[in-house]
Structure 1
């Protein structure tokens, strides 16, 4: 077996603690209340209300008791009671709560704490200054009207309703209306190219499309009416297109129904009871090779996972405001709107997070009193490199947690949050994905934050680090595996009737176990360190290292705006291949100036083996529509794989960025 090296931290010492809850703080959290409830009502033996390790051990030792306790404690509304918690434990094919019926939308819209008529459901802010607020009474009325519009169009259980629309109230309303009927939802951000949208929506044959006339980003306005018209022509099953005049109040498109007309008639707010595993929405894989996979999640699985995440892990509840920067094309939109499940206000922002500058989102947190503030790790890195100190210009006293996802948060990123935002803030780095629309590893309000580490495995997530032989690793880097089912694992892939593609995606390497494709180390503290994708691991002389460590060093240099590292050894070469580092340099920076510093830093902070053979300056790094670096597709291209076999251009936000890599491949 290859030798594994751990790069961060470099020894077995416990890293610095950046945040820890006081005993009083920890005791007042919802997760501590849940522990007390579990002890009293389920007889669970826990040393204390705030002993997370013991609580987690129970959650994976007795899946049935834990998830039934979550459902009862957090108030899942079953229309028909389940006959069991687990009908089958097989992965794939797990049967959760057989016999039960419920509806996601009922959990978001039923009056209760934080959801009374006058309570604020939604705050909306657009980059050009447009703002709106929506109370729960108004939200229920709007959903009832949209539901009536869908019913009038003949939409019912199992039909697909899709949106080419931004992170705005109308998108949320249409989703909840569709879910209330048992229809299946899917959305794309309006900045997606026409091909990318078609590749996603055409697979699921929608009957209704919600679309906008355009969007604004970075101070510019983009008209997408032509894209909408073309998309309608390419979706033969489409019966109705509803147009929201998002930029121009007078915008029209022949053959579409204006939003005002679609929602003109009030309608009853009713909820179709559907089986626990009935499809709620379809999310998509990045689609870097071939069509994006349609990942189907269930009503019941998402209700359970998101209630658990919002209430227990994020400690959200009535009177609090939840924000995550996202578009409707990223799973974090689906996660964000889960704040309604626990009676919190959700803050929707549409626009460029760096326009007019990087203070924009921090100013929103100040203005709206955000409680849990979520962004991407790359946004944190941008703020760090810009020398921003939000605490100096914004009141962040009400922000008690800052979430980070999308890629591993660097050690410097952890330090920056603590220093530039506030020592009182819990740093909630989390990792999971579109595949489960939830986190495997995350934070808990009763657990400290260690520098560079994700604090815990999520409750109910049986997370392990395995070697190639399937052995559990202790404090060593290995494959991230989930050894027992979670409710929000996909119920299926769309157009995968026998489950072949689903099994190939997650269960082929370790049969019966979920292989996520991340490189992870489980520490003795119960925390985790993510090192990047395991299929893009750097392998030099038998020493393996995740790309996240490499990027942390390279992108800490001010003159480096972005980077991509490729180890051609992983392409199956008999001899060790080249290690290549592609750099996007800041204005006025030169490769001749930067390269010696990078070589020295990589040699001292990682190892001599991880100093690249070549540094190459490029204009941009190829990224997927969701902002992920295209490491594996670029590897394939450099290995001579035909570009159309290596990557689908429609999956890229910047296809032109591939040109330098294509030019490096010898002709013929």
Structure 2
């Protein structure tokens, strides 16, 4: 750890969070000299804080609202009862005449959609959907890459008060149907294919099969994204947006469903997480406007696919009149600097990547500082804990004036629990602070808050974007069991977290994949931070598996760089590094070279499912194959469970 922060705030007095703080001080008579004081007010006075967010961002609704928070106990908190609003109306009410969307494909094709054109396309597609009988509460689903039609289709659906869900085309038809089939959708919007790693992936056959697997569909629309021939049994996208229509927005209850996001499906059938119009609107206005300080016309680019909640968050950049950059392609094609070059080309102000991408750039010797990144002020990172080494790398190789913002949140709240703001310093290895309005604590097994000790990540007071419900969970049983079974009335997220003495946050990994060796716990992220920076190691997966005979097996699986062999000296370097830099009690029992690490389709390592496979659980019971980026790897780990010694031989 360094002696001080790697980045110190020097906030612009015109930053939204500064102006918001001044307003809050005037309204409350309370001094809020720094971010910590602002955060304390935001969680002690939920009604005052969220009411001020409503006023500051000029949220529009029919007849206002009765009160901010009518019923606080979780689950079941009722926010802004009586308010009727529409998320899409707020997205499309501003923006001026400049670009709203800049869509880039892997081959370099770039399309700009200005604000008037976006409004026109959304209104036209909404009119077409209305002609198919789509209305409030009906479901429209997308099988689409990260491109402009996905944004248009979503906003049109939301404008009608209908419910949206989307997944990327790296899912097979059966995997997509396992999600969409639960929703009984009325309309499917699918693309003819997508681009990735130098290849065009034709998905017309998968789209046709998906349509056949969804018997409730009234129509299917086909987007010409990669230039293949059309399908006469589907409505061309160009036709569906061709007829002008007046813009119209169906205002709905604050907690009316906006979209359904599906869990990864890594522990059974994917569960549909329902979020409401109002909760998403307020949470994303806070995140984009106050934490990211996005301003009208600034360029916002976060590398994501439509599978991940970050896609939904990216669209919300439009709420504050920023220009959103969409990219369909690999982040490392034709080279590892691709995202930095896109940031240069499009004058991006806020760039979002993953810890894995930053590590890969460091290993490859990428030098973003050699590019013209004068517009860049924030590099965001989420999806996994951010290794300490990345903090100094960004400062030294991107620029000391660029704020590295590590964030932790989840699909469950489609937002963040902890992150940064223009007024928070950045310390190596830490997330700067809990986010505004998030009553975040680390709890021990007795339900008591701890500081400078690892505990369970909990949220003790409600957030507006907590799920409205799970789909097809009429009595709320699955919802309660998912978050409130451990500490009744308190949200337990399933992450190990440390709150530092200075108020920062350190995420140690999932609590259900903790390495518990001889009663001493360690997060898997601590092992990855050591191993994945070693030369010759592309990626690692560590598992602590309790076995039927009472034993405990802790293997470390490594994917090697091309031409590297896992010999005795490399094994020794790996174990020595873990012993010295992570924990001498958590040196693995075995180091095994493997052909690959299975991930969710949003890139998260499948620690718990692999652990279950190693414990002998059949693949079909351990997880949904359709949720995995490389399903064939599951059979490898299942074989390994039956014969642990086979790992090295089969790799």
CA contact (8 A) 2:566 2:593 kept: yes
1:582 equivalent in structure 2: 557
1:410 equivalent in structure 2: 387
Partner Cα distance (1:329, 1:185) in 2 = 13
Establish whether residue 16 from structure 1 lines up as the match of residue 4 from structure 2. Answer: yes
CA contact (8 A) 2:616 2:638 kept: no
CA contact (8 A) 1:94 1:485 kept: yes
The alpha-carbon deviation at position 408 of structure 1 amounts to: 0.6
Establish whether residue 80 from structure 1 lines up as the match of residue 80 from structure 2. Answer: no
Task: Give the counterpart of 2:595 among 619, 623, 642.
Answer: 619
Task: Give the counterpart of 2:15 among 29, 32, 38.
Answer: 29
Partner Cα distance (1:68, 1:410) in 2 = 37
Establish whether residue 270 from structure 1 lines up as the match of residue 256 from structure 2. Answer: no
Partner Cα distance (1:188, 1:578) in 2 = 36
1:285 equivalent in structure 2: 263
CA contact (8 A) 1:189 1:329 kept: yes
Establish whether residue 226 from structure 1 lines up as the match of residue 205 from structure 2. Answer: yes
1:433 equivalent in structure 2: 410
Task: Give the counterpart of 2:171 among 173, 192, 208.
Answer: 192
1:142 equivalent in structure 2: 121
Q: Which one is further off, 480-489 or 76-85?
A: 76-85
CA contact (8 A) 2:379 2:403 kept: yes
Task: Give the counterpart of 1:610 among 586, 597, 605.
Answer: 586
Q: Which one is further off, 374-383 or 63-72?
A: 374-383
2:74 equivalent in structure 1: 91
Establish whether residue 491 from structure 1 lines up as the match of residue 468 from structure 2. Answer: yes
Partner Cα distance (2:303, 2:593) in 1 = 30
CA contact (8 A) 2:25 2:32 kept: no
Task: Give the counterpart of 2:628 among 639, 646, 652.
Answer: 652
Q: Which one is further off, 602-611 or 312-321?
A: 602-611
Partner Cα distance (1:322, 1:450) in 2 = 24
CA distances 1:377-418 after superposition (whole Å, capped 9, x unpaired)? 1111111111111112x1112100000001011001111111
CA contact (8 A) 2:255 2:276 kept: yes
CA contact (8 A) 1:165 1:211 kept: yes
1:347 equivalent in structure 2: 325
1:6 equivalent in structure 2: none
Establish whether residue 482 from structure 1 lines up as the match of residue 470 from structure 2. Answer: no
Partner Cα distance (1:572, 1:70) in 2 = 53
1:321 equivalent in structure 2: 299
Task: Give the counterpart of 1:62 among 34, 38, 45.
Answer: 45
Partner Cα distance (1:661, 1:187) in 2 = 30
Gaps of 5+ in 2: 644-651
- Residue-pair matches, total: 642
Partner Cα distance (2:506, 2:230) in 1 = 50
Q: Label 1:44 to 1:444 Cα distance change in 2 as closer, same or farther (>3 A).
A: farther
Partner Cα distance (2:591, 2:54) in 1 = 53
The alpha-carbon deviation at position 190 of structure 1 amounts to: 1.1
CA contact (8 A) 1:396 1:422 kept: no
Partner Cα distance (1:192, 1:54) in 2 = 45
The alpha-carbon deviation at position 376 of structure 1 amounts to: 1.2
The alpha-carbon deviation at position 626 of structure 1 amounts to: 1.3
2:487 equivalent in structure 1: 510
State the SS of the aligned residue for 2:571.
Answer: helix
The alpha-carbon deviation at position 599 of structure 1 amounts to: 1.1
CA distances 1:504-537 after superposition (whole Å, capped 9, x unpaired)? 1111011110000111000111110011111111
CA distances 1:250-277 after superposition (whole Å, capped 9, x unpaired)? 6211321111111121001111010000
Q: Label 1:330 to 1:70 Cα distance change in 2 as closer, same or farther (>3 A).
A: same
Q: Which one is further off, 628-637 or 653-662?
A: 653-662
State the SS of the aligned residue for 2:641.
Answer: coil
State the SS of the aligned residue for 2:281.
Answer: helix
Partner Cα distance (1:122, 1:313) in 2 = 21
2:477 equivalent in structure 1: 500
State the SS of the aligned residue for 1:166.
Answer: coil
Partner Cα distance (2:78, 2:558) in 1 = 47
Establish whether residue 46 from structure 1 lines up as the match of residue 25 from structure 2. Answer: no
State the SS of the aligned residue for 1:58.
Answer: helix
Runs of 4+ that moved beyond 3 A: 571-575
1:555 equivalent in structure 2: 532
Partner Cα distance (1:583, 1:46) in 2 = 52
Establish whether residue 523 from structure 1 lines up as the match of residue 511 from structure 2. Answer: no
Q: Label 1:331 to 1:573 Cα distance change in 2 as closer, same or farther (>3 A).
A: farther
CA contact (8 A) 1:80 1:102 kept: no
1:446 equivalent in structure 2: 423
CA contact (8 A) 2:528 2:540 kept: yes
CA distances 1:452-503 after superposition (whole Å, capped 9, x unpaired)? 1100100000000001110110111010000000000000000000000001
CA contact (8 A) 1:26 1:446 kept: no
Partner Cα distance (1:129, 1:457) in 2 = 38
1:5 equivalent in structure 2: none
CA contact (8 A) 2:619 2:635 kept: no
| TM-score for the superposition, normalised by structure 1 | 0.95
The alpha-carbon deviation at position 75 of structure 1 amounts to: 1.3
| TM-score for the superposition, normalised by structure 2 | 0.97
Superposition map of 1:91-490 within 5 A: 91-111=74-94, 115-116=95-96, 118-248=97-227, 251-392=229-370, 394-490=371-467
2:647 equivalent in structure 1: none
CA contact (8 A) 2:272 2:471 kept: yes
Partner Cα distance (1:217, 1:296) in 2 = 30
Partner Cα distance (2:91, 2:29) in 1 = 30
State the SS of the aligned residue for 2:140.
Answer: strand
The alpha-carbon deviation at position 359 of structure 1 amounts to: 1.4
The alpha-carbon deviation at position 283 of structure 1 amounts to: 0.3
State the SS of the aligned residue for 1:449.
Answer: coil
The alpha-carbon deviation at position 573 of structure 1 amounts to: 6.6
* Aligned CA-pair RMSD: 1.3
CA distances 1:567-618 after superposition (whole Å, capped 9, x unpaired)? 124x68745x121101111111111142110111111112221111111110
Partner Cα distance (2:548, 2:408) in 1 = 28
Partner Cα distance (1:528, 1:124) in 2 = 35
1:637 equivalent in structure 2: 613
State the SS of the aligned residue for 1:39.
Answer: helix
Partner Cα distance (2:202, 2:39) in 1 = 49
